[in-house]
Structure 1
Amino acid sequence: MDLSTILKPEAVKVISAASSKKRLLQDFGDVAASAYGLNASSIVDALQERESLGPTGVGHGVAIPHARNNQLDSVVGAFILLEKPVDFNAVDRQPVDIAFALFAPEAAGVEHLKALALVSRTLRESTICAKLRANHDPATLYTILTENQKSQAA
């Protein structure tokens, strides 16, 4: 599994300003609807329900919100780079400007965990995060996210 198998280029967005964590989750619902044909409100509800269990802000300006949804057959993702960071109740209390959401089928077990681990490993790399923050073109961001996987596999 690599990021190109779960992330479509059209699911990568740059947003100038999300006013809050809730607004960012709504933006993910919109991206999931346009890129994957999912119901935006059910995605937002699932993400908010998951956030109520504990924040998915993992630190260093990165969040990995994730949720299960019965509209899916496989794990898919969406990436948003925020030009203005938002408070996400992250573990290090730093605002978030890099967010990668994962949406998994209700029955996905190992596949969901592998995708979460892959995204976490990728966004733990400070060089990748620096490249993402330095670019505001969605096509370039998609390339940065997916090329790392290909170079590691070679």
Structure 2
Amino acid sequence: MELSSLLVPNAVRVVGQFTSKKRLFQELGEIAAQAYGMQSALVVDGLQERETLGPTGVGHGIALPHARLEDLTRIAGIFIRLERPLDYDSVDRQPVDLVFGLLAPKDSGVDHLKALALVSRTMRDQGVVSKLRANTDPAKLHAILTEARAPQAA
């Protein structure tokens, strides 16, 4: 599995700021609707429902909100780089500026977990993260993410 199979170029955005996690999820839903033809409200509901199980802010300014949704046929990614970090209730209590949302079919099983692991490994790569934070062009951000070679799990 490659990030290039999960993330289309028009699902990568740079946004100034959000006032809340809910507003961020609404933006993720809007991008999912535009880039993948998903129903925005279902995406938002799925992300909020998953977030009630525990925050998806993994630390170091990175959040990986994700959800399994009915009626999806493939796993899809959305990436947002925030110009002003958002308080996200992350595990390290640091605000978030890099958000990689992952949406998967309800019955995706192990493929969802593999995709989440791939995104997580990629977003733990300090070289990738530094490049993401140094760029504001969505096309360049997409290239950085899809050309990254995440270390394989041991």
Alpha-carbon displacement from aligned partner over 1:62-115 (angstroms, at most 9, x marks no partner): 000000111211111100000010011100000000000000001011100000
In structure 1, distance between residues paired with 2:93 and 2:19: 17
Aligned residue in 1 for 2:95: 95
In structure 1, distance between residues paired with 2:33 and 2:21: 19
Aligned residue in 1 for 2:61: 61
**Secondary structure of 1:53's aligned partner:** coil
Aligned residue in 2 for 1:8: 8
Alpha-carbon displacement from aligned partner over 1:118-141 (angstroms, at most 9, x marks no partner): 000000011111100110000000
User: What is the identity, as a one-letter code, of the residue corresponding to 1:25?
Assistant: F
Q: TM-score, normalised by structure 2?
A: 0.96
Aligned residue in 2 for 1:129: 129
Gaps of 5+ in 1: none
Cα-Cα RMSD: 1.4
Runs of 4+ aligned structure 1 residues displaced above 2 Å come to none
Gaps of 5+ in 2: none
Aligned residues: 152
Identity of aligned residues (%): 58
Q: How far 1:149 moved relative to its partner?
A: 2.9
In structure 1, distance between residues paired with 2:146 and 2:41: 28
Q: TM-score, normalised by structure 1?
A: 0.96
